Amino acid sequence: MTQRHHSDLMAQLRATQKELDTDLPTPTREISAWPQPQFSDLEAYERIALAQAAGTQLGVASPFFRAMEKSEGTKAVINGKTCVNFASYDYLSLNHHAKLTQAVTTAVESQGVSVSASRLVGGQRDFHGEFEEKIARFLGTEDAVALVSGYLTNFSAIRTLVGEGDLVMVDARAHNSIYEGIRISGADHVSFPHNDWVWAADYLEENRQNYRQVLIAIEGLYSMDGDTPELQKFIDLKRKFGTWLLLDEAHSIGVLGKTGRGLCEEQRIAPDQVDIIMGTLSKSFCSCGGFLAGRAELGELIRFGAPGFVYSVGLSVPNTAAASEAFDLLISDPERVARLHTLGTQFQSLAHGLGLDTADAGPYAIQPVIIGDSLRAVWVSNALLDEGFNVLPIIAPAVPDQSARLRFFLNADHSMDDITAALETTARLIARSKTQFSRTL
Ligand SMILES: Cc1ncc(COP(=O)(O)O)c(C=O)c1O
């Protein structure tokens, strides 16, 4: 929101409030022994305030909630200046595709915007079923179910499948939606070192017999690190110990595999080897929502039992139309995926040539550049913006301070010139940040 928008809105709000105040009864003020709670007394609030104060004191502006006036393809306009954007999940560069916007317009004109009810009780539309069939066909699973948020998809699936007396083995770097789903499920959980299936196997060897059901949760392409697990090893584990395997493909469908079908395609594994394939619509598919794909019984369980499906509205008309069209575009033009692969490979060789550390990332669409200090990562990100590149930092506590990083999201339409210029500038600014901060601290 621009400054002007904000003050217009505040003025409007004050006027409305005044109007309302004249109609409202005067509140009775009872004396309470309890002080009124203040949000600012919460520890979480204090942590935020402290981090902001530290940034201000060191003269480093916050890079978060950096507002864009416009964003299209590989470019964004921020503070009136056009920059190359490396901070978007629009991996396949479809967000402004004419067919996508046309599909949304046509759908909204004929169906309205919202489906206005839970699908179970009035919100079901023909296009929901058609869309889910499309996902299942694309992935090679028996069924797929779409929910209104990717976050809610993990959360609800885990809550539905496991509970007290069960165990979830989860990769230490898995997404928060998985961890929160585990928490609410009441199942025990063990977080294993990142990608370490040997550790997980040892743990299961000793503890499997203590649990009824066990679920192993991993991701196809890790969003902070840009690396992938050895899927076959986790499949072997699930077979040996009789567990389920959930594969979160939020960042890998549309990105991994020759035709974008995700980690199974990338590592040549039949999708029916994985019990639960989870995906989001907010990344390669330029929409909002999530889905679960797998066997027909999984679909039934989710449709009749998952809280985020049963007690939430069905996927909206424009969100379904956009995602459905994006699937069609991906299917008809897998060349976009090939371009992303090429860019990932070239990014890495260029970065390494400049002495930049991309840690364990593979040659894919997510590329971290390790800075090793949260404050310097923020400074470099701000300085990059000044030079025309929007790259966001990932800092403590999201990652340990010593692995604070910049995270580049690649998009099929980035040019090698964009990437070369961004990486050369990054290398120069990292070197500058070291001298700058040895003086400041
Ligand atoms: C691995 C992973 N899973 C799930 C989600 C949640 O998806 P959404 O943002 O579409 O709600 C994200 C979001 O970034 C993610 O990175």
Does the Cβ of 154 fall within 6 Å of ligand 1?
yes
**Local structure of 211: helix, strand or coil:** coil
Is 74 within 8 Å of 377 (Cβ atoms)?
no
The secondary structure element, H or E, covering residue 136 is: helix 126-139
Does the Cβ of 319 fall within 6 Å of ligand 1?
no
The string of pLDDT tens digits covering residues 123-148 is 999 999 999 999 999 999 999 999 99
Does the Cβ of 226 fall within 6 Å of ligand 1?
no
The string of pLDDT tens digits covering residues 382-412 is 999 999 999 999 999 889 999 999 999 999 9
Does the Cβ of 289 fall within 6 Å of ligand 1?
no
pLDDT at 33: 87
> What's the rounded mean pLDDT across residues 155-166?
98
Does the Cβ of 250 fall within 6 Å of ligand 1?
yes
Helices (H) and strands (E) in the chain, counts: 15, 14
More confident residue, 53 or 207: 207
pLDDT band at residue 438 under the 50/70/90 scheme: confident
CA separation for the pair 340, 334 (Å, rounded): 10
CA of 4 to the centre of ligand 1 (A): 32
pLDDT at 157: 98
> What's the rounded mean pLDDT across residues 312-336?
98
Residue percentage of the chain with pLDDT more than 90: 86
Is residue 429 pLDDT above 80, yes or no? yes
Sheet with 214-219, strands from edge to edge, namely: 143-147, 290-294, 276-280, 244-248, 214-219, 167-171, 188-192
Is pTM beyond 0.75? Reply is yes
Virtual torsion, Cα 76, 77, 81, 83, nearest 10 deg: 0
Is residue 3 pLDDT above 50, yes or no? no
CA of 151 to the centre of ligand 1 (A): 5
Q: Cβ contacts of residue 217 below 8 Å, gap of 6+?
A: 158, 168, 169, 170, 171, 174, 178, 182, 246, 248
pLDDT at 161: 98
Find where tokens 């910049």 sit: 406
CA separation for the pair 130, 321 (Å, rounded): 11
**Nearest atom, ligand 1, residue 89 CA:** 14
Does the Cβ of 423 fall within 6 Å of ligand 1?
no
> What's the rounded mean pLDDT across residues 374-384?
95
The string of pLDDT tens digits covering residues 8-32 is 655 665 665 666 566 666 666 677 8
| Token pair belonging to 13 | 């709000």
**Local structure of 328: helix, strand or coil:** helix
Rg (CA), the chain: 24
Max alpha carbon distance in the chain (Å)? 70
Query: Among 282, 284, 366, 407, which residue has the most ligand 1 atoms within 8 Å of its CB, making it the best to mutate?
Result: 282
DSSP state for residue 409 in the 8-state scheme: E
Is residue 308 pLDDT above 50, yes or no? yes
Cα–Cα nearest to 72, from 55, 88, 49: 88
Angle at 287 between CA 282 and CA 291, to 5 degrees: 65
**Nearest atom, ligand 1, residue 154 CA:** 4
Asked which of 3-12, 39-48, 161-170, 213-222 is least confident by mean pLDDT, the reply is 3-12
pLDDT at 32: 83
CA of 252 to the centre of ligand 1 (A): 11
The secondary structure element, H or E, covering residue 168 is: strand 167-171
The string of pLDDT tens digits covering residues 207-233 is 999 999 999 999 999 999 999 999 999
Is residue 97 pLDDT above 90, yes or no? yes
Does the Cβ of 177 fall within 6 Å of ligand 1?
yes
Is residue 53 pLDDT above 90, yes or no? no
pLDDT band at residue 339 under the 50/70/90 scheme: very high
Is residue 229 left, alpha or beta, with left meaning phi > 0 and alpha meaning psi from -120 to 50? beta
* CA torsion through residues 268, 271, 276, 280, sign: positive
Peptide bond into 397 cis (omega under 30): yes
Average pLDDT over all residues of the chain: 94
Is residue 119 pLDDT above 70, yes or no? yes
Is residue 2 pLDDT above 50, yes or no? no
CA of 150 to the centre of ligand 1 (A): 5
CA 361 to chain centre: 17
pLDDT at 276: 98
Mark 75-102 as b/e (b = at least 16 C-beta within 10 Å).
Answer: bbebeeeebbbbbbbbbbbbbebeebbe
Residue 354: φ, ψ to 5°: -90, 5
CA separation for the pair 151, 68 (Å, rounded): 24
**Nearest atom, ligand 1, residue 222 CA:** 1
Bridge partners of 278, per DSSP, are 248, 292
pLDDT at 140: 97
**Nearest atom, ligand 1, residue 290 CA:** 10
**Nearest atom, ligand 1, residue 177 CA:** 4
Does the Cβ of 151 fall within 6 Å of ligand 1?
yes
